[in-house]
Homo-oligomer: A and B are copies of this chain.
Amino acid sequence: MSLAAKTKNISIVLYKPKYAGNVGSVARAAKNMGISKIVVVGETGLDREEMERRSTHLAADVLDQIRYCDSIEEALGDFHYIVGTTARLGKARGPFISPRAEAQKIAGLSQKNKIALLFGPEDTGLANDQLRLCHSVVTIPTSREFTSLNLSQAAMIVCYEIFTASSAGGGAEKAAQKLALASELEGMYGQLRALLTNIGFLNPENPEYWMLDVRRFFSRTGLLSREVKMIRGICRQLEWHAFNKKT
């Protein structure tokens, strides 16, 4: 499989970027590394001229093809595997993976699956609400003294690692099974959340918080479509036994 065939399945998703210049720089960095699809979520009037100045005219085609979405759910629905990025090392948010280790995985998965690389706003980064949608969360190693990376620099490092891993034929051994779509997974998580709340395993006040462990666990595995069906089948059966049978 050619390098181009792998990277065509990879998109960069920028959640609420603040500065047009950064979007332009991301476009340039992405194209340097063979990635040409960018999705921008919740954009509010980014200056096109400033974007072009930083992308240079050679990456203007990447800007032309940017897909703009209002919501993150809309932006991510069609992807099979979503990689978040964060500089924070808060305990609740892990496990954190290095860009290099993640790139190995992506090099394999991108052969048959659509991959989203999700980056947050320049000032705050991704919040928990966005991170819980991710199958994996990458943290770029930095000096402890100064951990805040520029958005396009962070994007460059991740793209560079993927390019390097893909060029080396990395991950090829995995011959990539087709993963479940994000929309299938969200359906399953909804069902699980309802079931686990009903049986008192999740605190109804804040079920999403406890669901994070469940999400992380399933994400690590990389669920196949038929496994999602199996799990939903088990849930249905359990629901019936736990609640209907006794009436």
List residues of chain A with CB under 8 Å of any chain B CB.
3, 7, 25, 28-29, 31-34, 56, 58-59, 95, 97-98, 100-101, 140-143, 145-150, 152-153, 156-157, 160, 163-164, 167, 170-171, 173, 177, 196, 198-201, 213-214, 217, 220-222, 227, 230, 233-234, 237-238, 240-243, 245-246
Contacts and interface: CB of A to CB of B under 8 A. Distances in A.
A97 B34 contact: no
Given A199-B237, A200-B237, A238-B242, 11 more contacts: A31-B143, A31-B146, A32-B142, A32-B149, A34-B142, A34-B143, A100-B164, A153-B153, A157-B160, A213-B230, A221-B221
26 contacts: A3-B143, A29-B149, A29-B153, A31-B145, A32-B143, A32-B149, A34-B143, A97-B173, A98-B171, A98-B173, A100-B171, A100-B173, A101-B173, A140-B160, A141-B164, A143-B163, A152-B153, A153-B153, A199-B240, A213-B227, A214-B230, A217-B221, A220-B222, A221-B221, A238-B242, A245-B246
B156 A142 contact: no
- For A100, A146, A233, the residue with the greatest tally of chain B CB atoms inside 10 Å of its CB is A146
Contact of A234 (B196, B221, B233): B196
Contacts of A198: 241
A64 to B, nearest CB: 15
Nearest to A210: B230
A175 to B, nearest CB: 8
A243 B238 CA distance: 11
